[in-house]
Homo-oligomer: A and B are copies of this chain.
Amino acid sequence: MDEFELIDQIFHGPEESTSQVAIGIGDDGAVINVTAGKQAVVVMDTLVADVHFLESQPADSIGHRALAVNLSDIAAMGAVPRWATLSLTLSEMNQNWLNGFAHGFFELAGRHEVALIGGDTTTGPLAVSVTVGGEVEAEGVLRRAGARPGDFVYLSGPIGGAAAALSSTEAYADSALHRALCWPQPRTALGAALGSIAHSAIDVSDGLLADLGHILKASGNLGAEIEADKLPLFKQAVALLGYQGALELALGGGDDYELCFTAPEKRHQEILATGHRLDQDLFWIGRITEHGGCSIHGSEINLDTVSPGYQHVWPR
């Protein structure tokens, strides 16, 4: 099978029902109708086998994840996703694997009404690069910058599950932790709804301390006081790793893809109502302060043992 046949078979997903794609895959580029008065949001993320996912994990979960992490960035900007491009590097042609990958990708794309408008395949070690475009009203953009002292800090779901799943074979086999690692759910509806409420937002991809740290730094070197006993943990992680172990992974582990956001205290009820309306869990975890970096209250945890978040460290 040559490249063109592959693209025809795999990348021509379910026919686009949206009117926004004027020209889809098959020409030199795609043409997209733009909604008057909105701004465009563009995000991209590359996933490499055995760095950002396990080459051995089910192909559909890799397809899902490659799109999900980008939709999560779109959500963290307060935007609504519209289109995606997909670059797939494959070491070998495996029709079953590709069908699985496509199934996972298109199932999530369909659920979020995202049209695949461009694709590209190359030979090499397994890697996936996805770019997603969305739309947002100028006043609805969520930034990392924008947190203010006194803001409440929230999470959209339990964290540390993905890191826990990677901690042992037993944890990987647990269905809730496995789902957290392999099937992250981007919080796009919540992100779009928060645009007019929250002061700042980020998705937790590098670990709460690192990502909340990005908010604090971008907002002018603010601080945060996080209540350890308010942090939503996976009970399966606590059962397997103990409270301290689960808490460490919640603070330092990455790949959770929940939204962390800050909003003025006076809008607390409105935020809870938004979560209720969207059937989306929301957890109050602490407050923004004027100084002092991020401190964790009410825990015996020794923060020295917490990894500073997920980074690719490059060899010199």
Contact = CB atoms under 8 A, between A and B. Distances in A.
Contact of A3 (B28, B36, B312): B312
23 contacts: A2-B311, A3-B313, A3-B314, A6-B314, A27-B143, A28-B73, A28-B76, A29-B76, A29-B79, A29-B134, A32-B39, A34-B34, A40-B133, A42-B83, A42-B133, A43-B118, A48-B123, A92-B315, A120-B129, A122-B127, A122-B312, A127-B127, A131-B131
B48 A40 contact: no
Given A42-B83, A52-B122, A92-B314, 10 more contacts: A26-B218, A28-B76, A28-B203, A29-B76, A36-B36, A44-B87, A45-B120, A46-B129, A48-B124, A118-B131
Contact of A129 (B34, B43, B52, B129): B129
Interface string A299-316: 000000000000111111
A77 B122 contact: no
Contacts of A133: 40, 42, 133
A314 B93 contact: yes
Nearest to A142: B28
A313 to B, nearest CB: 5
Contacts of A31: 39-41, 77, 136, 141
A73 B1 CA distance: 24
Interface in A276-316: 311-316
A129 B76 CA distance: 23
Contacts of A121: 312, 314
Interface of A: 1-4, 6, 22-23, 26-34, 36, 38-48, 51-52, 73-74, 76-77, 79, 83, 85, 87, 89-90, 92-93, 117-125, 127, 129, 131, 133-134, 136, 138, 141, 143-145, 201-203, 218, 311-316
Q: How many copies does the complex hold?
A: 2
Nearest to A210: B4
Contact of A22 (B39, B117, B134): B39
Given A129-B129, A141-B23, A314 B123 contact: yes
Contacts of A41: 29-32
Q: Rank and list the top 6 A-B pairs by shortest CB-CB distance, nearest first.
A: A29-B43, A28-B76, A93-B314, A131-B131, A32-B40, A28-B73
